[in-house]
């Protein structure tokens, strides 16, 4: 029985002390890494996409998430929907959120 008591006593004395400040430094370092590698680039992409959606107008050629390429024929400001003409006879109504890029003028004719 005395053998177990001496081992427990030895383990308590040999435990490292301090390290509380190191924990806070590591947490701060992880927070800085998280901000610069994850949050900041995502916020930048969201801002660019919001600017793209607000700059779209009638006559712009756009590419959607689904791969559709068309020309904007109607922009609805109050409901966030746009109408895209895929060709002379086909029109599609989509949300502005699904537009990934505004293409240069004449892109549709060059394809």
pLDDT in tens, 29-55: 999 999 999 999 999 999 999 998 888
Which SS3 state, helix, strand or coil, does residue 83 take?
Answer: strand
List, for residues 74-88, the tens digit of each pLDDT value: 998 788 899 999 998
Look at phi and psi of residue 11 and say left if phi exceeds 0, alpha if psi is from -120 to 50, else beta. alpha
What tokens were used for 99?
A: 């537009």
* 64: confidence class by pLDDT, cuts 50, 70, 90: very high
**Given pLDDT bands bounded at 50, 70 and 90, which one contains residue 12?**
low
CA angle at residue 79 from 83 to 68, to 5 degrees? 30
CATH of 57-110, one of 1.20.59, 1.10.3470, 3.30.460, 2.30.30: 2.30.30
What SS3 string covers 41-79?
HHHHHHHHHHHHHHHCCCCCEEEECCCCEEEEEEEECCC
Residue 69 structure tokens: 């390429």
pTM greater than the 0.75 cutoff: no
């Amino acid at each position: 029985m005395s053998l177990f008591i001496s081992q427990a006593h030895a383990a308590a004395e040999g435990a490292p002390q301090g390290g509380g400040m190191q924990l806070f430094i590591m947490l701060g370092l992880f927070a800085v890494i998280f901000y610069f590698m994850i949050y900041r680039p995502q916020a930048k992409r969201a801002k660019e996409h919001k600017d793209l959606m607000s700059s779209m107008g009638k006559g712009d050629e756009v590419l959607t998430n689904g791969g559709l390429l068309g020309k904007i024929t109607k922009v609805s400001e109050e409901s966030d929907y746009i109408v895209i003409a895929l060709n002379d006879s086909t029109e599609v109504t989509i949300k502005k959120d699904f537009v990934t890029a505004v293409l240069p003028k004449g892109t549709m004719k060059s394809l």
